[in-house]
Amino acid sequence: MPQELRARREALRRGQTSLTQQLERLTEVYLAGVVGLEEYRRRRRDIEQRLQALATQERQLAAQTDRQADIARSAKASSKPPGSRGGS
């Protein structure tokens, strides 16, 4: 996997970890009575939407990585001499 894609995947995972931690802290704050139920629900919904967006981006990145790997394999196979492609 190219380094750029690896870095992007790692950034997405860090973002997911950060949002998960925010969600945990929000729940702790709600349970401590610092924020009300409506505020808790609003903030939780926002965090969950952001988590879903990151998950979507991660799936798209995985698909892009698969496509690039397929292209690389095709290019490698087509650059081999005719007799070395496993035919006959």
How many Cβ atoms sit within 10 Å of the Cβ of residue 47?
19
Question: Does the pTM of the predicted model rise above 0.85?
Answer: no
Tell me which H or E stretch contains 65. Answer: helix 37-78
| pLDDT range class, residue 79, cuts 50, 70, 90 | confident
Q: Report the C-alpha gap between 73 and 70 in whole angstroms.
A: 5
Q: Which of 54, 29, 24, 49 is nearest to 39 (CA)?
A: 29
CA distances from 75 to 28, 66, 78, 82 (A): 53, 14, 5, 14
Q: What is the pLDDT of residues 8-22, one digit of tens each?
A: 999 999 999 999 999
Q: What is the pLDDT of residues 23-45, one digit of tens each?
A: 999 999 999 999 999 999 999 99
Q: Report the C-alpha gap between 46 and 70 in whole angstroms.
A: 36
